[in-house]
Amino acid sequence: MKQTFTLLLACLAMMTTNARAEQEKQTAKLESVTIFTNGAQVKRSKTVTLKAGEQTITFTGFSPYMDTKSLQVKANGRLTVLGVSHRRAIADSLAQARKLAQAEQAVTGVERKIQQAHDEQQVIDAQAEMVKSNCSVAGRTVATPLANIKELNNYYAQELLSLKKRSQTLAEQLKDLEKEQARAKKSLDSLRRIKPKEVFDVDVKVTAQQAAQAAFTISYYVTNASWYPSYDIYSTAINKPMDLSYKVNILQNTKEDWQQASVTLSSANPNRSNTAPTLGTYWLDFEKPVAVRREQRSRSFSKAAAAEPMMVERVDEALQGRVAGLDFAEEEPESELIEVRQQQSLFGYEFTISQPLSLPSSTKATATEIARYQLPATYSYKAYPKKDKEAFLVAEATDWQKLNLLEGDANVFYDNSYVGKSRLATSSATDTLLLSLGRDPGIRVERTKVNEKSASRFLGSNREQTVTWRITVTNTRREDVSLSVYDQTPIARNSDINVTVEELSGGQRDKDTGIVTWKLDLKAGEKRELLLQYKVKYPKNERLVVE
């Protein structure tokens, strides 16, 4: 059955080749690739020798993910292009059929040799039996002289020994043939397991007045290709700027191998709609009242949060202090960068990589460093004693907007150790990026309830609760630090609840969120205490958790 299928495949491939093409298929050389954040534009070229008259040039090997609507073919030479068409095909179907036929012939040839060896062994066995039978004197009717018997015995012994040697040699040959058979079957099974590679063929119908050469350029858009940025951020000390390494991660699984291609990376997205929107009639009318449950009301927007620089997504909170990670030897020179030319295009940024790249089709991304920058940065500590007993070191980086950075993940390193992952949310950040560099156990923060200053009492139909918290901050480091401490007082969403702030120890409170901020400058070894006290009054027949 498999042999029949192989022969049919070979016949169909030969018939298709003869019917569709007057000459062999052409493979266009890869010239350049422009990779977008989703998809890629591929350009190929090929110089073909034409004969006089009408003919069809078939170019093969194009990605099965090609967007056929984007296909463009240009030709330079003394010819006229009559039409361009495309079709799906099996890559190297005739060559694959030939390989299968050769593999099957190899298996058949070995099996034939094995059968011949078995047949020869049967003949040897029959000859040995015949020698043994003739050697016997039991059935002889005429007395044989003793000298003749000795001579016969010597003859038969030599014959049996010769047959035995031939049998041993044949057995060794059979072992070798069986090994060869196993290899041939394994090769055949491997070829049968190969899935046919589907490609696009492009047929270009042309007419030429005379035999000549023509240069063809073929460009098309293909999916299953993309690129995205990532960053490595290094900080060696709190009095030095931050180093930023800009990397591009290229992913191409187009079923084409891009060898030694000129690569350009574009931040544009050709899949976005290019149709300009239209405006409908702007109707204005009174809204019908909609019942909204109290718990569904949205929280008010924090003015303090709006005024504060946008925070890059936090580093993994599970990290304790500076996690031991990858160390970088200071005495080793840094590796050289690939030369990249950056420019702003009509629809985004473009990075042209000067060095040709080889990008095989794969499910894994290829990372390439294209730039290194230094960012001016200031460092401070932030503490949230209600949530954590340790302070977080935060770097505020400026001048990042001049670098045309795109949003992406970042690996953060501090003091030559890996801290964790963060994200550059450049689409929503202000002129300052805040990066959390992890916990610092050298700054301890404790939040305890002061029972002697906390009380609960009844005033007529109301109940009044006073809550007092003591926040203790200790700088155990050997240098002075700037520290921002954040806590909060409750905000009432019901008019029957009244919140009064009694003590803040100099902290600034946002009236919309209740967040209290203390800006502290702590000397080395300094310890400081802050008090947060508030009073809540509400109807005594209501249940309310006040902490």
Contacts of 404 (CB under 8 A, 6+ apart): 342, 344, 349
Query: How much is the pTM?
Result: 0.59
CA atoms of 511 and 489, how far apart (whole Å): 9
Tell the residue number behind the tokens 């967007």, with chain if given: 67
CA atoms of 516 and 499, how far apart (whole Å): 14
Cross-strand pairs, 220: 42
With b for 16 or more beta-carbon neighbours within 10 A and e for fewer, the 18-33 pattern comes to eeebeeebbebebebb
Residue 89, Cβ neighbours under 10 Å: how many?
22
Over its length of 547 residues, how does the chain's per-residue pLDDT go in tens digits? 444 444 444 444 444 444 444 457 899 999 999 999 899 999 999 999 999 999 999 999 899 999 999 999 999 988 999 999 999 887 665 566 677 778 788 888 888 888 888 888 888 888 878 877 776 654 455 566 666 667 767 777 787 788 888 888 888 888 888 888 888 888 878 877 767 778 889 999 999 989 999 999 999 999 999 999 999 988 887 778 888 898 989 999 999 989 988 999 988 877 766 667 777 776 765 455 554 444 333 333 233 333 333 333 333 333 333 322 333 334 444 556 666 666 655 556 678 887 888 899 988 888 888 888 888 888 889 999 999 888 988 888 877 777 778 888 888 888 778 888 877 776 665 677 777 787 888 899 999 999 988 888 888 899 999 999 999 999 998 888 889 999 999 998 888 899 999 999 999 999 999 999 999 999 999 999 999 999 999 998 888 888 7
CA atoms of 227 and 247, how far apart (whole Å): 10
CA atoms of 379 and 434, how far apart (whole Å): 10
Contact 432, 398 (CB under 8 A): yes
- Residue 411: how many CA atoms within 13 Å on its side-chain side? 13
CA atoms of 428 and 311, how far apart (whole Å): 9
Please give the angle made by the CA atoms of 249, 255 and 256, to the nearest 5 degrees. Answer: 80
Q: What is the pLDDT of residue 288?
A: 55
pLDDT digits (tens, 9 = 90+) for 71-103: 999 999 889 999 999 998 876 655 666 777 787
Cross-strand pairs, 249: 228, 367
